[in-house]
Amino acid sequence: MALHSHIERVLWGQDQIARRVAEIASEITADFSAGDSAHLPRPPPVLVGVATGAFLFLADLVRTIDLPISVDFVRAQSYGSGTLSSGAPVLSLDLKVDVKGKHVILVEDIVDTGSTLSCLISHLESKGASSVSVCAFLDKPARRKVHFQLVGEGKFYRGFECPDYFVVGYGMDFAEIYRNLPYIGVLKPEYYE
């Protein structure tokens, strides 16, 4: 079974992805090197990857950020093995790092309905994070149902705006496969319908 033959078309290739990840990492580095409103250096952020979809993006991102960061993971599931979000995310893996009083950047593969993200932001706020930013590799605003609120001086970092297609690759899956594709591609409907 050749995975590439399951892809209708490639939206973003490896080179485009690498360039955009480097740009986002530079922006995060600059934002946290610049200091806060009192012109004091901001403490480095804790990057929290949303497992499992964001693992490749997170790995590439953290290797390019020039700050002494901490990294952790959470797992929130809202898709199961389907193509539509259930709208009721379940937290199945929590943080090991204490985020109380810290700046947190939640790293997501894709923001779709916004339900999972909203739930995770609330969870991090309840743990005492002083700010929560979101760094989403893909943003699919056409599917948004829940408008999430960032915390404190949180910022929204976005890789690419994604059209309303079912996409896989670069960590994103359908039924736990296709994560290993080195690009973002549109999955042919016959493989998920």
Strand, helix or coil for residue 78: coil
Question: How crowded is the C-beta side of 50, counted as CA atoms within 13 Å?
Answer: 27
For the entire predicted model, the pTM comes to 0.87
pLDDT, tens digit only, all 193 positions of the chain: 588 899 999 999 999 999 999 999 999 999 988 765 566 667 889 999 998 889 999 999 999 999 999 999 988 876 555 555 555 677 666 788 888 999 999 999 999 888 888 889 988 999 999 999 999 999 999 888 888 889 998 999 999 999 999 999 999 999 999 999 999 999 999 988 7
Burial class, 21, CB count within 10 angstroms (exposed 0-12 / middle 13-18 / buried 19+): buried
Exactly one of 31, 60, 109, 112 is catalytic; which is it?
112
pLDDT of residue 106: 96
> pLDDT tens-digit profile of 96-126?
888 899 999 999 999 988 888 888 998 899 9
pLDDT of residue 88: 64
> Is 98 a catalytic site residue?
no
pLDDT of residue 127: 92
H helices within 48-173, ranges in order?
A: 55-62, 115-126
pLDDT of residue 36: 57
Residue 17 region by backbone torsions, left for phi larger than 0, else alpha for psi between -120 and 50, else beta? alpha
